[in-house]
Structure 1
Amino acid sequence: MSNARIPVSLSEENYHLNKTIYVSLLSVLVGIVAGFGAIGFRYLIGFFHNLFFHGTLSFIYDSEVPFVSRWGFLVVLVPAAGIALANWITEKWAPEAKGHGVPEVMVAVMEHRGVIRPVVALIKSLASAISIGAGGSVGREGPIVQIGASFGSTLGQVLKLSPREVIILVGAGVAGSIGATFNAPIGGIIFAIELILPEYSIMTIMPLVISSTIATHISLLILGNSPAFTLPMYQFVSSYELSFYLVLGILAGFVSIGFIAVLYRTEDFFDELPLNSTVKALAGGFLVGLIGYVLFLLFGEYYVFGVGYAFLTEVLANSVPVVLLLAALLVAKIAANALTLAAGGSGGIFAPSLFLGAAVGGAVGLTVNSLFPELTASPSAYAIVGMAAVVAGTTGASLTAVIMIFEMTRNYEIMLPLMLSVVVAHFITAKFYRETIYTKKLTRRGIKIQLDKRIPIFRTVRLGDIMKTSFVSCSPLSRVGEVSRMMHEKAIGLLPVLDGQNVVGTVSYEELFRSGCRKEETIEKLFTPKDITVDRNSDLYDALNRMKKERTNLLVVTDSSGAAGFVTRNMIISSYLAKREAL
């Protein structure tokens, strides 16, 4: 009998396989909760919609059918009441539930090891259902993402899983929630990979697949197996038509930029108002109600209230024949969404992005179809492509946009123009704005989220969080003997040289030794002039690039008051390894 030992690599491989199976089994439970959560949230929206707009108690509500409220002009007060109530609920019990949801999940993964408070799911569901049901111009995907993510996080914490495994369950909750919401299981998986998880491997993808499959199947059993949107028969008419889709991609990119900019400028405006939050919520909600009522008087529908799926259904059925109406709705929807979120409402931005994309795409489709009827498809084809393009431009999740729109329409013929417009819109937004609607919210709080999976950890750790503040330095007028003694006592081979508050370079023990200078001489002519400063909000990747450029192993970290600390190459490597082990 052989006494040969099993190779360590095989033991490790078996261990990781068992871990993957265990987490995947847990993701079944996550998928069940995400599926029923998505369905329950939809019915909750229906309840508040019927209560606010019709004064009835019912959970039955079809968001794809236009409605008329019984309140007449007083309908302008409905969004005000709903947004004010939602704002009060989030401020009192879960401030992180305010806004559009996805950024909070992203920062929980990158900054807090996937830890999300369980109460967030409950408060987010209630506040968002009230906001949307009362006519707040937001989507339902952000709240549902937080519901699934919160349960995944809570399950991982209760079972005392490692931070990496907790994060995987958070991703599984996100994938299941998105899959169930839009009847798009693959899109849910890609959404979680592109926007939530810090890296992807077989360990992370398998639980996502299982959760999304389970959640979507539950949704199909209860809500029916049909695409989210029905697109009329599409046929690629001419190769020349690709040039029109190229133009659509460019326009979608600039619409995305405008959407993001208006949203955050409106938030800044509301934050600076010298009013309490309740008054702001009432004022913002009243303006949303006013926009909806004016649209009703002009065009017979409120359009901007709620998720806006009734408008999408009309556009995709080629029932909106006027470019001017689409242009007006584009402006109105951007304003209504910005006001809803800035005033304290709770909800997502995915559905508003679909709305804007349908408006700009429909307008382009109507225009080119009237000018070149023999070369172009129906306006609805341009609307569906515009939906994907604006989603890609605003969220940065281009692959998600392509896959989800395909799953939501189940029309393969439109994939070529769809992919072209999505890529162009993504590049336009990245080139001229550089932030997505999700990352912008976090960078404004000093949190950097890097969606490039190649270097995620180096981009997520700020120097201000790892620097040492016990600062040791010398000046150009310091004497050789004094500097040598300081290096010896502190066991430091390199010191930064400061002239007052200005960092002018470095001096090394080797430079002092080779100089042959007497101990009484100054180091004024011995130190090496270098720009070794870096801002405390820079990340590890920025620091390594600066070290490479200046050929140094030490950087002085600065803030508004001057030198605040220092980092070394070894500190950066240690920080990277610690973060990597935690994930």
Structure 2
Amino acid sequence: MQSLYGYLKRFKIGNTTFFLSVAALVGLLSGIGNIVFVEAVEHAHWFFFDVVGNNLLNLQQGGWHRFLIILLPVSGALLLIPLAKLFPGLVNGYGFPKFLAEVHLKLARISPLRLIANTLGAAITIGSGGSAGREGPIGQIGGTIGSVVARWLKLSTKRTQVLVGCGAAGAIAATFNAPIAGVLFAEEIVFLGEMKLNTFSLFVISSAIATAVSRTYYGAESIFHTPNYIIGGPMEFPLYALLGILIGIFGALYKRGYYTTWEFFNSLRIPKALKPVLGAFLVGIIGIFMRDVLSDGYDVIRGLINGNLMNYSLLFLGLLVLGKILATSLTLGSGGAGGMFAPSLFVGAALGAFSGKLFALLFPAMHISAGAYAVVAMGAFLSSATHAPLMSIFLLTEITGNYSVMLPIMIASIIGTTVSQKLFHDSIDTHYFTLKKIPIERARETAALHGWTVGDIMDSKPTCIYEGASLQAFVDGLNAHQLTHLPVTNKDNKVVGILSISDVKSFMFRDDLWRLLIVSDIMRDDVTYLSESDDILSAQEKFDFLEIEDLPVLDEDKNLRGVLTRNRLTQFIRKKTLEDRSYEASISEL
């Protein structure tokens, strides 16, 4: 059956026009998907906290009633059990690593059931008080929309991946009313920082359309409106640098805390379905004493950056930071559904407010605004967790509508991300792949080149030079085969050295030495070589590290088996990467 894309080409519709139109369609659907998802979360929150919490449990009365708040996240976790049975593998936990794996390792074939599973799972978890964010699920929902549209049009894997990026960009743009951040989310996080001009324009179209849909429904007001904070000039920049260091330390703690908790719950020998219930129970205990850490915490964030909650003590702000990190780790590490963005913004705002109040006490003459530090720390902490500084910087300036804080956010973000990477190398989204030894950064090449070795592609009839040959014979051999190096062999055909054109240049204009010297006189015996069993990507890394154009292939006894050139290797990688449409990595444990 002919694809719609192929059918439309008969009407002379160009590729550019077609894909811009499809990107706009994906943006439209992502914007609508965002509205449905947000309404689901809001209604779930209303049901759990207003209907159940206030009307049935009388939580608003305080006293002993506040202990009943444990029932809210626990009841939400119990509702996840039948949902997880209905949508196996699509409900529990922080699902963004699995989403990335599906995009890069599973040909971007994302199940449309994810639309329902992500919406209901995250709405129940967040609505019942689980400490998680909306943004990860909505990004996955948008990406799934892009995948479904691409499969309907019967597009190639590469184009399907691009439409997944369009959907994710549109969804994030719509949920935050931040089109630039949506584009950068797709480029830095979904596409792992691989920015390309031809995809950028499609992401822009999708983000713009999705944002327009969101603004039509919700209005154009920024999601976190802030006062016009006045930054104290260059004198205050060292304090933002200190803030960046602090953020980097806590960013690493945030990432390590989540993965440690995740591994702990994985190791528990209890039914998998009950793990989110245990996590929710522990989160509920935290909520008894710090209700602010429950759900996505948007209201608390608004209060911190507007200054309305600046009456909180330094001790309580510090406890908010630790409490939110712990509650988020317990919620998502145990199998609750949701994302990491909102908790990152919450922790950043609380940490920034803490730092701002502390700096104001230490330096009263500087008239420091703690709210400004909360805004800056939100972006910087998100950057330290996701390793996406551009997205974080523009997200904060767009969602606050306050561009005066951009320079401090840049300072704190770069420093915070650098420190965070030093202490915990991976981002919150990619560390899982390190644990499972899945090279997600080179996913497409890894998939295409799986099983291929140096022995499969080397030149098995290599050119070499005998150690007793003249230098002129060596040069003639290089010219005849367009090589820069030749392995040197002895009479037993074992490689004893290597010689390059640069090694003989100094003797070319000295006739006496040119005629007298032989190859063994000037060859190098420190031979760097490949083995036939070496995989293709490790061979490429060796070429890149040595900055060399050809390498001999030797066996264990130093017998010459072949030669591999950089050009031959590069052409093979390019060919296989373009051809591959079938390999799927094993990610069943995600």
Q: TM-score range by the shorter chain?
A: 0.7 to 0.9
- Equivalent in 275, 279, 285 of residue 284 of structure 1: 279
Q: Distance in 1 between matches of 2:261 and 2:548?
A: 40
Report the AA paired with residue 290 of structure 1.
I
Deviation (angstroms), 1:463: 9.6
Matched, 1:53 2:49: yes
The residue that corresponds to 2:588 in the other structure is: none
Report the AA paired with residue 43 of structure 2.
F
The residue that corresponds to 1:141 in the other structure is: 135
Q: Distance in 2 between matches of 1:79 and 1:292?
A: 10
Report the AA paired with residue 266 of structure 2.
D
Q: Distance in 2 between matches of 1:150 and 1:389?
A: 29
Q: Distance in 2 between matches of 1:555 and 1:229?
A: 63
Aligned-partner SS, 1:20: helix
Matched, 1:399 2:384: no
The residue that corresponds to 1:177 in the other structure is: 171
- Equivalent in 119, 123, 134 of residue 129 of structure 1: 123
Report the AA paired with residue 410 of structure 2.
M
Matched, 1:380 2:355: no
Q: Comparing 276-285 with 397-406, which one deviates more in the overlay?
A: 276-285
The residue that corresponds to 2:292 in the other structure is: 303
The residue that corresponds to 1:320 in the other structure is: 310
Q: Distance in 1 between matches of 2:449 and 2:156?
A: 26
Report the AA paired with residue 47 of structure 1.
H
Q: Distance in 2 between matches of 1:535 and 1:251?
A: 43
Report the AA paired with residue 289 of structure 1.
G
Residue deviations 1:133-165 (CA, integer Å, cap 9, x gap) = 111100000110111100101111111112222
The residue that corresponds to 1:504 in the other structure is: none
Contact between 2:454 and 2:536, CA under 8 Å: does it hold in 1? no
Q: Distance in 1 between matches of 2:30 and 2:314?
A: 39
The residue that corresponds to 1:298 in the other structure is: none
Aligned-partner SS, 2:295: coil
Q: Distance in 1 between matches of 2:496 and 2:199?
A: 56
Paired residue total: 508
Distance 1:87 1:424, change over 3 A: farther
TM-score (norm 1): 0.78
Q: Distance in 2 between matches of 1:187 and 1:43?
A: 22
- Equivalent in 222, 228, 236 of residue 217 of structure 2: 222
Contact between 1:531 and 1:550, CA under 8 Å: does it hold in 2? no
Distance 1:270 1:359, change over 3 A: same
Deviation (angstroms), 1:16: 13
Q: Comparing 139-148 with 198-207, which one deviates more in the overlay?
A: 198-207
The residue that corresponds to 1:477 in the other structure is: none
Deviation (angstroms), 1:546: 6.2
Contact between 1:357 and 1:391, CA under 8 Å: does it hold in 2? yes
Aligned-partner SS, 1:151: helix
Q: Distance in 1 between matches of 2:120 and 2:284?
A: 20
- Equivalent in 450, 468, 474 of residue 465 of structure 1: 450
Q: Distance in 1 between matches of 2:30 and 2:126?
A: 19
Deviation (angstroms), 1:468: 4.5
Q: Distance in 1 between matches of 2:35 and 2:306?
A: 26
Q: Distance in 2 between matches of 1:367 and 1:528?
A: 59
Q: Distance in 2 between matches of 1:258 and 1:38?
A: 31
Q: Identity rate of aligned residues, in percent?
A: 31
Report the AA paired with residue 452 of structure 2.
M
Gaps of 5+ in 1: 1-14, 59-65, 296-301, 451-455, 473-486, 495-509, 558-565
Between Structure 1 and Structure 2, whose CA radius of gyration is higher?
Answer: 2
Contact between 1:23 and 1:165, CA under 8 Å: does it hold in 2? no
Contact between 1:94 and 1:119, CA under 8 Å: does it hold in 2? no
Deviation (angstroms), 1:72: 3.6
Matched, 1:331 2:322: yes
Deviation (angstroms), 1:411: 1.1
The residue that corresponds to 2:541 in the other structure is: 542
Aligned-partner SS, 1:33: helix
Aligned-partner SS, 1:552: strand
Residue deviations 1:415-462 (CA, integer Å, cap 9, x gap) = 221111111111112233221111112222322233xxxxx678x527
Aligned-partner SS, 2:429: helix
Deviation (angstroms), 1:178: 0.5
Contact between 2:243 and 2:352, CA under 8 Å: does it hold in 1? yes
- Equivalent in 73, 77, 80 of residue 74 of structure 2: 80
Matched, 1:114 2:108: yes
Q: Distance in 1 between matches of 2:132 and 2:529?
A: 47
Q: Distance in 2 between matches of 1:414 and 1:16?
A: 48
Deviation (angstroms), 1:373: 2.6
Deviation (angstroms), 1:55: 3.1
Q: Distance in 1 between matches of 2:437 and 2:220?
A: 43
Deviation (angstroms), 1:183: 0.8
Distance 1:329 1:16, change over 3 A: farther
Residue deviations 1:7-26 (CA, integer Å, cap 9, x gap) = xxxxxxxx999212211101
Q: Comparing 97-106 with 254-263, which one deviates more in the overlay?
A: 97-106
RMSD between superposed Cα atoms in Å: 3.7
Aligned-partner SS, 1:466: coil
The residue that corresponds to 2:24 in the other structure is: 28
Residue deviations 1:70-124 (CA, integer Å, cap 9, x gap) = 9642221221232343355246524145433433333233222322111112111
Residue deviations 1:285-310 (CA, integer Å, cap 9, x gap) = 10011111122xxxxxx111111111
Distance 1:516 1:556, change over 3 A: closer
The residue that corresponds to 1:577 in the other structure is: 575
Q: Distance in 2 between matches of 1:289 and 1:50?
A: 18
Matched, 1:516 2:491: yes
Q: After superposition, where does 1:96-495 map in structure 2 within 5 Å? A: 96-197=90-191, 199-295=194-290, 302-318=291-307, 319-321=309-311, 322-450=313-441, 461=446, 465-468=450-453, 491=460, 493=462
Q: Comparing 524-533 with 379-388, which one deviates more in the overlay?
A: 524-533
Q: Distance in 1 between matches of 2:365 and 2:487?
A: 81
Deviation (angstroms), 1:554: 4.6
Deviation (angstroms), 1:215: 1.1
Distance 1:540 1:158, change over 3 A: farther
TM-score (norm 2): 0.77
Report the AA paired with residue 179 of structure 2.
P
Report the AA paired with residue 357 of structure 2.
L
Residue deviations 1:456-485 (CA, integer Å, cap 9, x gap) = 678x5279823349999xxxxxxxxxxxxx
Distance 1:540 1:146, change over 3 A: farther
Deviation (angstroms), 1:529: 6.8
Distance 1:223 1:406, change over 3 A: same
Report the AA paired with residue 423 of structure 1.
I
Q: Comparing 410-419 with 400-409, which one deviates more in the overlay?
A: 410-419
The residue that corresponds to 2:83 in the other structure is: 89
Q: Distance in 1 between matches of 2:428 and 2:235?
A: 33
Distance 1:539 1:342, change over 3 A: farther
Q: Distance in 1 between matches of 2:319 and 2:292?
A: 11
Deviation (angstroms), 1:56: 6.0
Contact between 1:547 and 1:555, CA under 8 Å: does it hold in 2? no
Contact between 2:258 and 2:328, CA under 8 Å: does it hold in 1? yes
Gaps of 5+ in 2: 1-10, 464-484, 498-524, 557-562, 582-590
